[in-house]
Structure 1
Amino acid sequence: MEIQSSTANVLFETIGPVGVITLNRPEVRNAQNGALLYDLDRALERFAYDDKLAVAIVRGNGPHFSSGHDLGKTADRHVSFERKSLWWDHVGKTGVENRFARESELYVGLCRRWRDLPKPTIAAVQGACIMGGLMLAWSCDLIVASEDAYFADAAVDFGIPGVELFGHPWELGSRRAKEFLFTAERLSAAEAYRLGMVSRLVPREQLFDASLALAQRIAQRPRLGLALAKKAINQCDDLMGYRSGTDLAFGLHQLAHAHNAESGGSPNGAGSPQLVKQTLSASSAG
């Protein structure tokens, strides 16, 4: 494996035509702050621009893929980042103007950018894949999961319909998505595989090797054919309502934030600090 670049948050290595991008905050279960998300974006951009690379694997260092947004630290909310989606800087703004710009850029905008990347991407998921982790995995074309992986979205506990990029009905089907959100129960890797959300299910110790073998097989296929097949499927999903549906749900997500802020539960709209802590602890325990 050849090291291409690394930051405190994200490692980027290559194995032949495969880019291997690793979330590198295992001490917080690869929770996603703004710095990590932009480091990840730069790694994926570098992969996209390198003609020698055909497929990317996105994985998490340590026992877990990603525990989602890093809600435990608020300093990141007041930092200006690159604005890849061309939204105004959220810093210095208040209320909905702040939250809508920040989340449109940092969560919805980046995930859509990764989904539309013309080269194939594979999420290699172990352990917890929660909320923001779900959005990242769903932004990849394929998901290879270890048998101990699980998926969760406890947003309803915060009075919020779901994570910012609301892919649940397309990934799970309407009724299973409702149960998933209504109960906040974990979705096992085996059940996700049965539903078609997970592409391959393997023992934990075989996760990377299985992901690499799949990536190497795909890398042998013609680049243009892969790009057009990916674009065709993504556009069909959009015609079946994915883009407009996720836009609509994001509006409801912002309504929920505004309600939380207005009702005094949380200045940033996420929900009361105690509830956030309890919910995240319950979702990621294990």
Structure 2
Amino acid sequence: MNAPLIRYETPTPHVARIVLARADKYNAINPQMIFEVNDAFTRALYDDTVKVIILAADGKHFSAGHDIAETVEEYQARVQAEQHKVGHWSGFQEPGTHGWYAAEKDAYLETARRWRNISKPTICAVQGKCIAGALIFAFVCDIIIASKDALFSDPVVNFGVSGVEWLAHPWELGARKAKEFLFTADSWSADEAWRLGMVNHVVERANLEDFTLEMAKKIADKPAFALKLAKEAINKTLDIQGQANAIDAAFSLHHLCHSQNFRVFGWGMDPTNVPSLANIPKKPG
């Protein structure tokens, strides 16, 4: 059994904290971490003493994003062996686009959708770098609190991909800034993210944990049923405006990029602008 990659904590009454604990690998997201985070959300969801959930991370950086050395193929293997599924797809061991699409849809799109719709308020505390797939973890939370040293980026256009699997960027940044964010692959500071409305608060690094916990405690003082319905009302408003359908459409385009890269490069990403990708073991897609 592998050592756990997250911790589940209850730092104060009515608050659960899920902590990414793979700091030696910059909290890179692999299948084990996805399963463990999902299980932790489930634990907090069904514990009626918990009213607010914090998602945080150990170490200098929140997360380097997907561990592209192992993520998709490992997820295909583990989800089949462990029958540990989140969404409603199958065919994880099928060759070609079928298996790749099924694994990414379950691992990234459906987990993100589930976490976004968890009925309890969620707060993400971000320090250091929050790259690509790590944005999904932050975006699905209701509130984002960043330390002053936080940097946000989605550089996957460099890899020949249109954006990460849960492409909430236009809703978080506005359409024009979302385009700039993706087209340039630049890293944006916590202050810029706050200015654009993606981040709720920017605090000193040393105060991040305490500030986040104090906000969680303030929210936890409110009636649980009212909190759940307030969250549902706002999420439903976004869905009526088209967020859910837009994210589904963007996911399909994401996979069109993978298919193009398989045809041209024999792998799901384009290594032309990212030489380090050439060293990643390739498996048939």
When the two structures are superposed, what TM-score results if normalisation uses the length of structure 1? Answer: 0.91
Give the whole-Å Cα distance in 2 for the aligned partners of 1:228 and 1:234. 10
* Post-superposition offset of 1:151: 0.5
CA distance in 2, matches of 1:241, 1:205: 38
Checking the alignment, whether the CA contact within 8 Å between 1:158 and 1:276 is kept in structure 2 is no
CA distance in 2, matches of 1:102, 1:270: 16
Task: Please list, as runs of the form range in 1=range in 2, the aligned pairs for 1:96-111 lying within 5 A after superposition.
Answer: 96-111=97-112
Distance 1:278 1:104 in 2: 22
Structure 1 position 200, deviation (Å): 0.9
Structure 1 CA distance, aligned partners of 2:135 and 2:29?
A: 12
CA shift, 1:124, in A, is 0.4
3-state SS, counterpart of residue 274 of structure 2 = helix
The reply to whether residue 43 of structure 1 matches residue 40 of structure 2 is yes
Rounded Cα–Cα distance in structure 1 between residues aligned with 2:243 and 2:171: 7
Distance 2:211 2:266 in 1: 43
Which TM-score applies when normalising by structure 2?
0.91
**Letter in structure 2 aligned against 1:84:** V
CA 1:85–1:130: 2 relative to 1, 3 Å: same
Write the letter of the residue equivalent to 1:206. N
Alpha-carbon contact 2:158-2:273 (below 8 Å) kept:
no
The answer to whether the Cα contact below 8 Å between 1:90 and 1:102 also exists between their aligned partners in 2 is yes
What is the RMSD of the two structures over their aligned residues, measured on CA atoms? 1.7
Q: Any stretches of 5+ residues in structure 1 without a counterpart?
A: 1-5, 280-286
Paired with 1:236 and 1:117, the residues of 2 have a C-alpha distance of 16
Equivalent residue, structure 1, for 2:242: 241
- Gaps of at least 5 residues in structure 2 are 279-285
Task: Report the CA distance between 1:273 and its aligned residue.
Answer: 8.8
AA at the equivalent of 2:259: A
Instruction: Return structure 1 stretches of 4+ with deviation > 4 angstroms.
Output: none
Tell me how far 1:43 sits from its aligned partner. 0.5
**Cross-structure match for 1:80:** 78
Match of 1:283 in 2: none
1:10 corresponds to:
6
1:266–1:272: 8 Å Cα contact kept in structure 2?
Answer: no
Instruction: Evaluate the alpha carbon distance shift between residue 50 and residue 77 of structure 1 in structure 2; reply closer, same or farther with a 3 A threshold.
Output: closer
Q: Distance in 1 between matches of 2:63 and 2:78?
A: 23
Q: How does 1:1-286 map to 2 (within 5 A)?
A: 8-15=4-11, 16-73=13-70, 76-81=74-79, 82-91=84-93, 93-263=94-264, 265-267=265-267, 269-272=268-271, 275=274, 277=276
Displacement of 1:77 in angstroms is 4.4
